[in-house]
């Protein structure tokens, strides 16, 4: 059941999320989050991994993307962002998701933000204090083994909600599989790219 239909049936409909702007690199797209969009992302990522002769990582990442897509679509999804038409030498297996986040119990997100700062080293991105940023690694059991991904996560308070809602943006890159790790320079470069994208964030009505 879609979030909007569920909200209508339960009488908990919320105002639509205000429009926002992100400046994307050449060849990147921002699309409605659907199963078809995740299938396209998986196919493009698969092509990248096959081009660097990593069929093992390809199979594991496809399995993770399928599961992650199902989980993402069960939340309150907003956008799926990924490179769709980028030269091979500029391509990262990096994808970005955005979901609408509500604090448990409908309270303010401030305790959650405080915990992120305390436990995960979250800090603001840039000097305006609008975007909170942290990073972490997650290990997943997938078909064919174990896959580790590195995520760069960002949280922005939704205006007009008294800080009770936020936009959670996650940029994810596979970092280890099959006993091999992606080199640190590539992971850092992915972080630099995702930071550059999120540094352009603004609510378009602001």
pLDDT greater than 80 at residue 131: yes
Segment among 57-61, 151-155, 190-194 with least mean pLDDT: 57-61
Both tokens of 1, joined, read 């059941």
* pTM score: 0.83
pLDDT tens sequence across 88-112: 677 777 889 999 999 878 889 999 9
Q: If pLDDT is split at 50, 70 and 90, which confidence band does 4 have?
A: very low
The residue ranking higher by pLDDT, 79 or 7, is: 79
The three state secondary structure string of 17-61 is: CCCEECCCCCCEEEECCCHHHHHHHHHHHHHHHHHCCCHHHHHHH
More confident residue, 53 or 115: 115
* Residue pLDDT, tens place only, 162-185: 999 999 999 998 777 666 677 888
Nearest-5° angle of CA 148, CA 168, CA 149? 5
> Are residues 173 and 91 in contact, defined by beta-carbon separation less than 8 angstroms?
no
Averaged confidence pLDDT in the chain: 81
pLDDT at position 53: 52
Give the percent of the chain with pLDDT over 90: 40
Closest by CA position to 166, among listed 196, 121, 122: 122
Residue 40: pLDDT band with limits 50, 70, 90: confident
200 — phi, psi (to 5°)? Answer: -90, 0
Q: Is 200 helix (H, G, I), strand (E, B) or coil?
A: coil
Question: Cα(162)–Cα(159) distance, rounded to whole angstroms?
Answer: 7
Q: How confident is the model at residue 54 (pLDDT cuts 50, 70, 90)?
A: low
Residue 44 has pLDDT above 70, yes or no: yes
74 in helix, strand or coil? helix
Which structure tokens are listed for 73? Answer: 């679509």
- At 15, the pLDDT band (50, 70, 90 cuts) reads confident
């Amino acid at each position: 059941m879609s979030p909007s239909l569920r909200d209508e049936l339960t009488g908990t409909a919320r105002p639509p999320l205000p429009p926002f702007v992100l400046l994307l690199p050449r060849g990147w797209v921002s699309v409605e989050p659907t199963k078809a969009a995740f299938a396209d992302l998986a196919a493009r990522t698969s092509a990248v991994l096959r081009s660097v002769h990593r069929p093992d990582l390809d199979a594991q990442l496809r399995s993770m993307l399928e599961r992650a897509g199902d989980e993402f679509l069960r939340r309150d999804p907003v956008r799926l962002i990924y490179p769709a038409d980028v030269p091979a030498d500029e391509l990262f297996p990096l994808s970005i998701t955005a979901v609408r986040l509500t604090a448990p119990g409908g309270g303010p997100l401030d305790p959650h933000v405080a915990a992120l700062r305390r436990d995960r080293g979250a800090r603001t991105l840039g000097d305006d204090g609008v975007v909170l940023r942290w990073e972490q690694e997650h290990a997943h059991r997938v078909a064919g083994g174990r896959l580790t991904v590195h995520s760069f996560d960002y949280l922005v308070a939704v205006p007009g909600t008294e800080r009770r809602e936020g936009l959670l943006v996650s940029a994810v890159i596979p970092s280890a599989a099959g006993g091999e790790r992606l080199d640190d320079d590539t992971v850092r470069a992915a972080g630099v790219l995702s930071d550059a994208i999120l540094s352009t964030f603004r609510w378009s009505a602001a």
